[in-house]
Structure 1
Amino acid sequence: MIRIAMWSGPRNVSTALMRSFGARADCAVVDEPLYAFYLAATGLDHPGRAAILASQPTHWWGAVDALRRPAGKALQYEKHMAHHLLPEVGREWLGEVVNAYLIRDPAHVVASYAKVRGTPTLEDLGYPQQVEIFRAHGGPVLDSAALLRDPAGQLRKLCAELGIEFDPAMLTWPAGRRDSDGVWAPHWYAAVERSTGFAPYRDEPVDVPAHLTHLVEAAQPFYDELAAHRL
């Protein structure tokens, strides 16, 4: 079994990309396996916190051990949020998976994040964690804007880099919820549940709040390092 760990920051198309891999008959998907650990470790009060803590291991090693159990498919796609990789999480297991990275321009991420969750930190956006993993393990880098502009072309390139065959089934999927969705889906997945494929790319102006421009500047070097290797 090939295990693909896709590391994304928030306010990206990570759930749609999970849908894409879930549309493959040969692929099992795992939705944010470190989320309960992250909430337990940080004490953050996210929507559905109690249900999330009850649905997953709350220690990182328990989550990692669960990922090692065969899913009965040739592929296992793990949708990871990079900010869940807290400093206390062991890194040895990252050598067991094929790491990949979903990135988005920091100005777009910060502007979008500010609308729904207030003031983030650099670590909340996941760029330093993505760069840390990339420097240690490499792997393909997928830019969300490029993916939305050309889903077929970008997915073909991604599959080639991952060492798997491209499956046209990755381009469309039935609307609705999945059993593999995290218990937090009712709070966040409404748009994805309505979707049947990747949404068209929209080149919209970015309005970053003035008090967060420093965060875009701090994130930019990390993004640029990854973007230099994008598909």
Structure 2
Amino acid sequence: MNIAMWSGPRNLSTALMYSFGARHDFDVWDEPFYAAYLAQSGRAHPMRDAILAAGEADPALVARRCMAPAQGGQKNFYQKHMSQHMLPGIDRDWFAAVAHVFLIRHPARVLASFDRKLERPGLEDIGFRQQEEIFDQVCAEGAPAIVIDSADIRRAPGTMLTRLCAALGIAYDPAMLHWPAGGHARDGVWAPHWYDAVHRSTGFAGPEGPLPALSDQLQTVSEAALPHYRALRSHALPCPQEAPE
């Protein structure tokens, strides 16, 4: 099985990649379209030159690999995708060859974290609009579209990963709850800038506290993202300790 996990930045996405990467039957791929996104958008991200040098900038070649078997020889292939990387004009025919999951997080939490790594992010940087667009496309094409909230994973990781695996039609593996500190062999070249916190982790952090206070600029972006988050949240897998934000 090839799984496309659609997320935005600062959304538990790397921890969930490590979770699937801890299974013996999964290979993982970190942000396949990042180099193509930078090449086509011209965005000035941290480590841009290194990302372009290390990654594949032709989205057609990236898509071909997304449909192919895992290169590590495992049965399953987990792909950590950033929704904002799917720019207009990038072919999406490969969507039919993978299972789709949508990992969401309240935009206020995303922005509070992301602003510390990329100053003054806008709506197009955090992927909520694009994530809902991809979700709608997958649903319109008649394919299953699974939604899971990162807050629910943090509240009840074993339960939520069990439910996610069941929705995907695969067996849950308790190995998904823990991973070695220090990163994963499949980390992208950008890991030194973005992954410091998750590199110190060995499992999912506990529940988060109240929503963070934001600057006026970030609050405006959060309010623009909220309808997209809430639309996807309405389809999310249920959590036994659910307390919607």
TM-score range, shorter chain: over 0.9
CA distance in 2, matches of 1:56, 1:205: 35
**1 CA distance for matches of 2:228 and 2:173?**
31
121 and 175 in structure 1: CA distance in 2 versus 1, 3 angstrom threshold = same
Deviations 1:142-188 (A, max 9, x none): 10111101100110110111111111100011112322111111122
Count of residue correspondences: 230
In the TM superposition, residue 205 of structure 1 has moved relative to its aligned partner by 4.0
- 2: CA distance, partners of 1:188 / 1:212: 20
Counterpart of 1:220 in structure 2 is: 226
Counterpart position of 2:142: none
The residue aligned with 1:145 is 151
Secondary structure of 1:115's aligned partner: coil
State how 1:1-231 maps to structure 2 within 5 Å: 2-71=1-70, 72-138=73-139, 139-231=145-237
Taking a change above 3 Å as real, the CA distance of residues 194 and 212 of structure 1, as seen in their structure-2 partners, is closer
RMSD after superposition? 1.3
Q: Percent identity?
A: 50
Offset of 1:213 from its aligned partner? 2.3
SS at match of 2:57: coil
Offset from partner CA, 1:9-59 (integer Å, 9 cap, x none): 112110000000000000000000000011111222322222211222101
Name the amino acid aligned to 1:227.
R
- CA distance in structure 2 between the aligned counterparts of 1:38 and 1:53, rounded to whole angstroms: 10
**CA shift at 1:208, angstroms?**
1.3
SS of 1:117 mapped into structure 2: coil
| Structure 1 unaligned spans of 5+ | none
Deviation at 1:198, TM superposition (A): 0.5
Question: 2: distance between equivalents of 1:194 and 1:110?
Answer: 21
Q: Distance in 2 between matches of 1:46 and 1:29?
A: 23
Which whole-Å CA distance do the structure 2 matches of 1:164 and 1:93 have between them?
A: 21
- Cα deviation per residue 1:53-96 (whole Å; 9 max; x = unaligned)? 12221011111122233222111000001111111211211111
Q: Tell me the CA shift for residue 97 of structure 1.
A: 0.7
Report the Cα distance in structure 2 between the residues aligned to 1:120 and 1:175, rounded to whole angstroms.
Answer: 29
After TM superposition, where is structure 1 displaced by more than 4 Å over at least 4 residues in a row? none
TM-score (norm 2): 0.89
